[in-house]
Amino acid sequence: MGSFEEKAELIYDWNSLEPQPRPRNLLLDDETLRDGLQSPSVKDPSIEEKIRLLHYMDELRIDAADIGLPGAGPRAKADVEALAREIASSKLSIKPNCAARTVLADIDPVVDVSQKTGVPIEVFCFLGSSPIRQYTENWTLDILLKHTDQAISYAAGKGIPVSYVTEDTTRSDPETLAKLYRTAVDCGARGIVIADTVGHATPAGTMALVRYIRGIVGENIRVDWHGHRDRGMAIANSFAAWAAGADQVHGAAIGLGERVGNTPMDLLLVNLRLMGWIDRDLSRLKDYCNLASRATGVPIPDNYPVVGKDAFRTATGVHAAAVIKAYKRKDDWLANNVYSGVPAYLFGLKQKVEIGPMSGKSNVLFWLDEHRIDPTEERIARIFDAAKKSDRLLTDEEIAMLAG
């Protein structure tokens, strides 16, 4: 089997039996540099690291990025200005936005940076909307409507693009949401953001909510989905949001964010690519994730999908034997698919066969062959015996010493 079409026949794809129609829009907004930095475990990256992350986002063709909340203080505003200037000077395609509470003191710094840099910066004005939040804050619907009207009208009057974010949308009642969103659109909002602030939603709930909101705001207003992964449903909810009519989905590198984090931007890209909805070079995806990890001090778990240390490693005898057989055929496609649901080569990576207590002798032979070491019976036996006595995988250095 040589052609891709012939090889595809080797995998029966149940996913294709009821294919999800491609949404009309597949926009992505990267929250790494704002909501991602609200994680209790992060350190604030240097401006040099933030700029490099912004370049990676642009290389991955992410459409937009939240570059900060300049109303938070002088350092936050300085970083937002530096990032906006970088977008202009490097002619990046990514479109910047900034978060702001529905207060003028938060909107003014965004306007100021936009005017200084000449870069259009969309302001995302957010306000809590759920009954539990209203009760806690002692807010009435009239108060919410007043803040919405004032903030959206003010931002629109300043000539900058503005979107309206309802926090905790997924636990808000329909009547309140309808009044808030209609007010925001009437006051000049060009987009609205549905926020699953505490990760409450299920895919079914996501679809019901997005369809309802789309019916309220109409087809000409951009609808965003902002998800969190408290229940582990963030990726599924994001695709449910697109299926129900959302235009743009938010995410952060390696799922950074408050509590257990936001929707992982990297995994959105992976799944969009595997579903055939995008076709772009994602070979820098691991670099983007690694930099986000180093810059924030949040480690990537070894078993994290695609970019984790263990994503494409195997030492289990049966699994490794199949991968080895594929490599012996000099067939990278086969090696990347026979024991993996994610082809490593699509992301600039490759399968790795290792040696440990669950390995067979084929693992040892493969390692020696890769390292161009003569596979004598004595060498094979020495390495194999050591592996069987070990309680973990052997390192390359340990194997080399055993082969010496």
Q: pLDDT by residue (tens digit) across 87-115? A: 999 999 999 999 999 999 999 999 999 99
Interval 197-215 mean pLDDT: 97
Cα–Cα distance between 233 and 192 in angstroms, integer? 22
What confidence tens digit (pLDDT) does each residue in 221-241 have?
999 999 999 999 999 999 999
**Burial profile 124-145: b = 16 or more Cβ within 10 angstroms, e = fewer:** bbbbbbbeebbeeeeeeeeebb
Q: Over pLDDT 90: what percentage of the chain?
A: 78
Smallest CA-to-CA distance from 160 within 223, 203, 217, 116 is with 116
Mean pLDDT of the chain, nearest integer: 93
Cβ contact 167:201 at 8 Å:
no
What confidence tens digit (pLDDT) does each residue in 275-320 have?
999 999 999 999 999 999 999 999 999 999 999 999 998 878 787 7
Quote the pLDDT of residue 21.
86
Confidence of residue 152 (pLDDT cuts 50, 70, 90): very high
- What's the maximum distance between 2 C-alpha atoms anywhere in the chain? 82
Q: Residue 168, Cβ neighbours under 10 Å: how many?
A: 18
Interval 249-272 mean pLDDT: 97
Interval 364-370 mean pLDDT: 84
Cα–chain-centroid distance for residue 135? 33
Cα–Cα distance between 358 and 384 in angstroms, integer? 10
Phi, psi angle pair for 147, to nearest 5°: -65, -40
Confidence of residue 1 (pLDDT cuts 50, 70, 90): very low
**Where do the domains of the chain lie, and which CATH numbers do they carry?**
23-296 (3.20.20.70), 313-403 (no CATH)
Query: Whose structure tokens read 């004595």?
Result: 378
* pTM higher than the cut 0.85: yes
Q: Determine the length of the chain.
A: 404
What value does the CA radius of gyration of the chain take, rounded to a whole number of Å? Answer: 25
Cα–Cα distance between 93 and 132 in angstroms, integer? 40
Q: What is the DSSP letter of 228?
A: B
Cα–Cα distance between 358 and 201 in angstroms, integer? 40
Q: HSE of 389 in the Cβ direction (CA atoms, 13 Å)?
A: 6
Amino acid (one-letter) located at 404: G
Secondary structure (H, E, C), 310-327:
CCCEECCHHHHHHHHHHH
Quote the pLDDT of residue 6.
57
Cβ contact 154:104 at 8 Å:
yes
Check residues 58 and 11 and name the one with the higher pLDDT: 58
Interval 313-334 mean pLDDT: 81
Cα–Cα distance between 156 and 162 in angstroms, integer? 6
